[in-house]
Each structure stands twice: as structure tokens, then as C-alpha cells.
């Protein structure tokens, strides 16, 4: 039976070191399987988050050979096993233990964003009508599994630690899902410009590249939101022209 070596970050609250574990490899395995084997057989107290093991819950985010990924969706046959596979916790968040990081900042940010506020119902029975084409656009954003890999890779958070000025790609996607929701009436544009710090994103698209749900974060969510902010606050002429166009079209 083939074996592979996994070089896993062990330690608490930022201090720690890599430890090597060798374990058996069988066809079809993903990185999370190896972590579970190691946990069951060699390191019962190895801290790791996971839930669905099917890429649907976004719990098992980590950096595998330096790349932000879901451990449950990373096949071992996609990695060079002749050298150790390194597994580290996400870097953009405070470390807790081993592969677990402190994610409560994300929950706090989300709570600050104005909640969904539907327009008045379209039908007397209190229901609404929406066409699938309008729904498709927000459904892309609502696929997000909140794995926070996009936050992890965003240099504004990861390198510059501007967590108090910038909400990060995940919550720009969340804001886009609300702003483009066919029923939503709330206005998040002023806050996107100020407290949410949308201007800090310089569209390097790192977030889009790591999204396990293949959400086109930068092009479909962030850029349209940036345009709305610009239209509202910086470019009255464009705004007028657009109104004119919309009126005549």
C-alpha cells in the first residue's frame, strides 16, 4: 500500500510548528480523508473543522501546499505525493489551534450589512413574481458556502490586515446578492463606499480564482457594485446619461 507524508501545522494561538505524519493512500482519497486517518490513528487531538465532506458547507478550508482550498474537495491525485503535502490554517484570521482559525470577525461583518428588505408583494395573496433570468444573477452569489477562502487570499485582509476598513470579497458578494435581489428595496451603496471599503479592492481577482463554487466574484459582484458606487457619488454626468438612456430605451 502506498503511503504519503503530510506536513501539518500543529500548535496554538500562532505559535507552533510543522509535524510530519505518514499515512496510507488509497485511490480516490481527498486531503480531508488523510487528516481524518491521522487524527484517528496518530493525533486524536488534531484540531480541524469539517462537516459535510462534500463541498457544500465550507467548513474545511485550509492552505494545501500554499493554496487556499477545501480539504474535502482536494483529491490526493491532484498533488505531487513524492514530496510532503503541507497543510496549514488560513492566514487571514487569528489562529486558534492546528488547522482551526477564529472566524467570528466574518459573522460580525455580515451582521453590519443592511438586511434584506422586500418590496411590497406583487399579488393580493402576499406573494411575488420574479422571472428566472433575474433570479439567475443572484443565485450565482447565493451559491456561496461561506468557506472564507476568498477572504483568506485577499491581500487587503491577508497582508494589510485592514479588517476594520474592508469587508472582503465574501461580503461584497453578499452585498451584491442583496443589491441585485429582484425584491430588495434597501440601499447599501453609501455604506459600501464608506464603512465597507469597496474602494480598497483593486480587482486582482485572487478571490475569484480560489472560489470552490466558481462564483465570478470580481467581475459579477464587485465590479458592478463599484460601478454603482461611482455612479452615485463620483459621476453625476454618467448618472444623468444613464437615466436618459433608460428613459428612452
Partner 1 sequence: MSEYLTHEYDVLVIGAGGAGLRAAAEASAGGAKVAVISKSLLGKAHTVMAEGGIAAALANVDERDSWQVHFADTMRGGQYLNSWRMAELHAKEAPGCVRELEAWGAVFDRTVDGRILQRNFGGHRYPRLAHVGDRTGLEMIRTLQDHDVHLGMDVFMEYTVVTLLKNSDRVAGAFGYDRERGRFHVFRAKAVVLATGGIGRAYKITSNSWEYTGDGHSLAYHAGAALMDMEFVQFHPTGMIWPPSVRGILVTEGVRGEGGVLRNGDGRRFMFDDIPAAYANQTADTEEEGWRYTQGDKNARRPPELLTRDHVARCIRREVKEGRGSPHGGVFLDIAWIKERIPNAAEHIKRKLPSMYHQFKQLADIDITQEPMEVGPTTHYMMGGIRVDPDSQMSDVPGLFAAGECGAGLHGANRLGGNSLSDLLVFGKRAGEYAARYARENSLGTINPDEVALAEKQALAPFESDSTEGPYAVQYALQDMMQDLVGIVRQENEMLQALERIEQLKARAQRVGVSGNREYNPGWHTAIDLNNLLTVSELVTRAALERKESRGAHFRDDYPAKDGKFGSFNIVIRKGAGGDPQIIREPIPEMSAELKKIIEEMK
Site residues (CB under 8 A) for partner 1?
12, 26-30, 33, 39-41, 44-59, 73, 75, 96-98, 100, 102-104, 107, 110-111, 115-116, 118, 126-132, 135, 138-139, 142-143, 145-146, 178, 181, 183-184
Query: Distance between CA 159 and CA 64 in Å, rounded?
Result: 19
Nearer to partner 1 (CB atom), residue 20 or residue 102: 102
Shortest Å distance, C-beta 2 to partner 1:
14
Shortest Å distance, C-beta 10 to partner 1:
10
Do 106 and 92 contact (CB within 8 A), yes or no?
A: no
Query: Distance between CA 68 and CA 245 in Å, rounded?
Result: 43
Nearer to partner 1 (CB atom), residue 158 or residue 181: 181
Shortest Å distance, C-beta 244 to partner 1:
29
Shortest Å distance, C-beta 234 to partner 1:
30
Shortest Å distance, C-beta 146 to partner 1:
6
Nearer to partner 1 (CB atom), residue 172 or residue 226: 172
69 DSSP β-pair partners? 62
Nearer to partner 1 (CB atom), residue 57 or residue 230: 57
Nearer to partner 1 (CB atom), residue 131 or residue 246: 131
Residues 6+ apart with CB under 8 A from 6: 20, 21, 22, 23, 31, 34, 35, 38, 84, 85, 86, 87
Amino acid at each position: 500500500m502506498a503511503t504519503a507524508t503530510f506536513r501539518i501545522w500543529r500548535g496554538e494561538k500562532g505559535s507552533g510548528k510543522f509535524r510530519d505524519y505518514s499515512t496510507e493512500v488509497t485511490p480516490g482519497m481527498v486531503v480531508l480523508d488523510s487528516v481524518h486517518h491521522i487524527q484517528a490513528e496518530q493525533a486524536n487531538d488534531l484540531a480541524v473543522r469539517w462537516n459535510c465532506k462534500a463541498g457544500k458547507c465550507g467548513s474545511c478550508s485550509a492552505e494545501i501546499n500554499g493554496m487556499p482550498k477545501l480539504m474535502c474537495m482536494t483529491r490526493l491525485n491532484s498533488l505531487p505525493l513524492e514530496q510532503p503535502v503541507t497543510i496549514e490554517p488560513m492566514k487571514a484570521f487569528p489562529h486558534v489551534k492546528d488547522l482551526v482559525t477564529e472566524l467570528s470577525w466574518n459573522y460580525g461583518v455580515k451582521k453590519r450589512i443592511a438586511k434584506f428588505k422586500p418590496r411590497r408583494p406583487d399579488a393580493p395573496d402576499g406573494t411575488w413574481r420574479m422571472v428566472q433570468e433575474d433570479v439567475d444573477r443572484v443565485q450565482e452569489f447565493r451559491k456561496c458556502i461561506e468557506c472564507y477562502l476568498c477572504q483568506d487570499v485577499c491581500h487587503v485582509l491577508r497582508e494589510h490586515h485592514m479588517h476594520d476598513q474592508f469587508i472582503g470579497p465574501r461580503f461584497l458578494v453578499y452585498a451584491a446578492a442583496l443589491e441585485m435581489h429582484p425584491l430588495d428595496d434597501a440601499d447599501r451603496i453609501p455604506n459600501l463606499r464608506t464603512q465597507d471599503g469597496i474602494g480598497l479592492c483593486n480587482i486582482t481577482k485572487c478571490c475569484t480564482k480560489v472560489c470552490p463554487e466558481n462564483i465570478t466574484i470580481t467581475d459579477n459582484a464587485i465590479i458592478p457594485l463599484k460601478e454603482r458606487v461611482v455612479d452615485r457619488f463620483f459621476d453625476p454626468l454618467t448618472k444623468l446619461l444613464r437615466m436618459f438612456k433608460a428613459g428612452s430605451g
